[in-house]
């Protein structure tokens, strides 16, 4: 019965569209909470709550860097499970999320968009002068 309980716990953790999207957003590497919040266009409290659920199930791990908290997938085998679930319901491919977002305050996005314009005035939008 115990092995069923552990599997059920894992399945319960992924049984939410927002948490599925979070996992896929982390598929190619870690992201900070602020990036995921910008991506989801949701309150940080909501995104953090979903991340907490995934972390408690052991699916993701966090890392603190100063004031920022980064999350990464703990065991990539979860995507075997999710890809199988998608195939069973006829979802052929999950569109990759944008890796950098113009309105995102995370260091990765700011770096990327500051490269687009050296004047620094256009930092948030990354437009050229
Ligand atoms: Zn970002």
CA of 102 to the centre of ligand 1 (A): 8
Between residues 19 and 98, the one the model is more confident about: 19
CA of 2 to the centre of ligand 1 (A): 40
107, containing H or E segment: helix 107-116
CA of 107 to the centre of ligand 1 (A): 7
Residue range(s) of every CATH 1.10.10.10 domain in the chain: 2-96
The class (CATH top level) of 2-96 is: mainly alpha
Question: The whole model's pTM is what?
Answer: 0.83
pLDDT in tens, 51-70: 999 999 999 999 999 999 99
């Amino acid at each position: 019965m115990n092995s069923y309980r552990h599997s059920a716990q894992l399945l319960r953790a992924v049984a939410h569209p927002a948490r599925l999207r979070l996992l896929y957003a982390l598929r190619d590497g870690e992201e900070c909470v602020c990036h995921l919040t910008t991506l989801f266009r949701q309150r940080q409290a909501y995104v953090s709550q979903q991340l907490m659920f995934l972390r408690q199930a052991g699916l993701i791990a966090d890392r603190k860097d100063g004031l920022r908290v980064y999350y990464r997938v703990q065991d990539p085998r979860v995507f075997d499970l999710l890809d199988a679930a998608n195939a069973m319901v006829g979802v052929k491919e999950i569109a990759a999320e944008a890796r950098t977002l113009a309105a995102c305050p995370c260091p990765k996005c700011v770096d990327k968009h500051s490269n687009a314009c050296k004047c620094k005035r256009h930092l948030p939008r990354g437009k050229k002068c």
